[in-house]
Chain A
């Protein structure tokens, strides 16, 4: 069963620090740009919603055709955004929680400048593995 999914991490300064197409469908050039566009457009909605609740997982906040945007906000206001077509909410929540742990491990690296792009290939491999497992 192929699924489309695009995952980005946006820092507190609204700069994307990590992007990945993690769906199992074949990658198409125009689809990737469209996914990024939809996710960036959803940032405004996240901004408003983040102040109304103290939960971290904001579930589905926006729709585009049949794709849904789900967001998870950390205490440091770093946003994990996922554009997907599946309806598996528990899986997505577990995915976000595991990525949060990976993100903290990146942060604990003293040579990592907070707010800069995450370039570790190890992180990339792990995120893709988690996506295959939970999405």
Chain B
């Protein structure tokens, strides 16, 4: 089980999915588009976690499951592991990927010297579009953890591209 897929195919598919949901299906309702994209990610994460945990023993606690996400799961998806894992030991984990594969083709906007209001609003739009692309991987992580029995909320932070941080908050 498992065959190779062209990476450019995946990149194009994801870009087109975000663009279609944002510009055609839910044109003026970005929150609905975001929820839809996250739900797709949830189902994909659910399926992938079941598939990748088949060969290995089950997990004894939350930290084991999060480590699985950081190492094996991320490696299967992106051919690399998470670079940095931080936790406050009270249910919050921060996963940092210094070069997130799906964002490597995204341009990094340089902030203007003296931002006119027009340029600033364009930059805000760009930030929204960039954050739209993160709902899918957040959904994947949430789906994978939910399947392993850990209900959680996942958000992403791209203050410095191409590095990307995912914040997982486990629901008590």
Residues of chain A touching chain B, judged by Cβ–Cβ distance below 8 Å, are 12, 50, 54-56, 73-77, 100-101, 104-105, 107-108, 110, 114
Contact = CB atoms under 8 A, between A and B. Distances in A.
25 contacts: A12-B149, A50-B58, A54-B57, A54-B59, A54-B60, A55-B58, A56-B58, A74-B53, A74-B54, A74-B58, A75-B49, A75-B54, A75-B58, A75-B59, A75-B147, A75-B148, A76-B50, A76-B149, A104-B54, A107-B46, A107-B50, A108-B47, A110-B43, A114-B46, A114-B147
Interface of A is mostly: loop
B106 interface: no
Interface of B is mostly: loop
* Most chain B CB within a 10 A radius of its CB, from A73, A101, A107: A107
Contact of B54 (A12, A100, A110, A114): A100
Interface in B117-172: 147-149
Nearest to B52: A75
A50 to B, nearest CB: 8
B1 interface: yes
Interface string B33-46: 00000000001001
A50 B148 CA distance: 13
B29 interface: no
Given A54-B57, A54-B58, A56-B58, A75 B1 contact: no
A75 B53 contact: yes
A110 to B, nearest CB: 7
A76 B148 contact: yes
Interface of B: 1, 43, 46-47, 49-51, 53-54, 56-60, 147-149
A74 to B, nearest CB: 7
Given A12-B149, A76-B147, A104 B51 contact: yes
B59 A77 contact: no
A53 to B, nearest CB: 8
Contact of B149 (A77, A100, A101, A104): A77
Nearest to A56: B58
Closest 9 CB pairs of A and B: A75-B53, A54-B57, A76-B147, A54-B58, A75-B58, A108-B47, A107-B50, A104-B51, A107-B47
